[in-house]
Amino acid sequence: MDESEERFAVVVDKPRTEAVIAELEAEGVYDADRSVREFDEGSVSVPVTSIPESVEYIEVVRQVGEPRLRDLADHLRERGWTDEEIDLAPSSWAVLGTVVLVDVGDAPRPDEVGEALLALHGSADTVLSRGGISGAHREPDVTVLAGAGDTETVHREHGTVYAMDLAEVMFSPGNKAERARMGDVVAEGERVVDMFAGIGYFTLPMARAGAEVTAIERNPDSFRYLLENVQRNGVADRVQPYRADCRDVLARTDPATDVTADRVVMGYYEAHEYLDSALGALEPGGFVHMHEATPEGLVPDRPVGRLRDAAAERGRAVDVLDTRRVKGYSEGVAHVVVDARVD
């Protein structure tokens, strides 16, 4: 092997792979032309263009400079897929810690898609096929396509750490920008109610930004991870968690236990059904962020109208600050968020 074909890599603990790659990219030394590889049990080698100065690692090793198969199509083509079959392969997926989450759609031989995704993402050990979300507790339907089958993982995103079991709780990769944005809009010391906290999707970025968050979640599995994630992110002193129906928590009338807020987050597709509870807790001049799954032809009129009608019933006025399409929810239906000030 020609010495010039060798390159360096840093060895890191496998759970840190996502965070290390982000740090290497920030330093400008991540080598995207080579693959992350398994080094030994529990660690991987991450390719670098030069030895990093600001990133912690176990050791530096030489890594043969084989070019990375750049995308899923390359890996499937190597497995004998035709161009017509590759056209049916998924075009997007999410890497959440050590798990790849994908909707295989109409792709033939889903197990080969899973194996190809494992080859493409060396830090992952499990590929899950994503189905729908159902039930009052918003429970996911997933199937193991390839790998170890370990559905529990730790995902890092914009500095926030999320532990979860993807067979038990939902995690929407398409909401990434919205999660980060909520950490940007809150002020230190602001009182926030997160009515559908889940594992801490919005609670954690807001609490890390200094907000005082009342986090309400009724799914026991999600609540268990919410408690864990509050500890992992060091925000236990700023989060008051409740495992309950948010309407019950917000219906209290004892002044000693009343929950009031400067901001209410309603991260649920049918949030309009809970507007009376949200507005009852929101102080005059406070902000509400209402999520909804809305047919494209009714964006933004339907969610805005529902918010205005609910406020009018309480004699309150709404100033709509923004409406956003977060992502597609289903064919012809958008996931929309309405940001508003309510006087």
Tokens representing residue 53 in the block:
């100065």
Write phi, then psi, for 255 (nearest 5 degrees): -55, -25
Tokens representing residue 204 in the block:
């954690």
Task: To the nearest 10°, report the CA torsion of 143, 148, 154, 159.
Answer: -100
C-alpha–C-alpha distance, residues 192 and 195, integer Å = 9
Q: How many CA atoms lie within 13 A of 153 on its CB side?
A: 29
Residue 217 annotated as part of some ligand binding site: yes
Running DSSP on this structure, what letter comes out for residue 68? Answer: P
Residue 50 annotated as part of some ligand binding site: no
Yes or no: say if 187 and 166 are a contact pair by the CB < 8 Å rule: no
Going 172 to 175 to 180 to 182, the CA torsion angle's sign is negative
Residue 85 annotated as part of some ligand binding site: no
Running DSSP on this structure, what letter comes out for residue 115? Answer: H
Angle at 117 (CA atoms; ends 114, 118), nearest 5 degrees = 90
C-alpha–C-alpha distance, residues 6 and 62, integer Å = 6
Residues of the binding site: 172, 179, 217
Residues of the binding site for S-adenosyl-L-methionine: 172, 179, 217
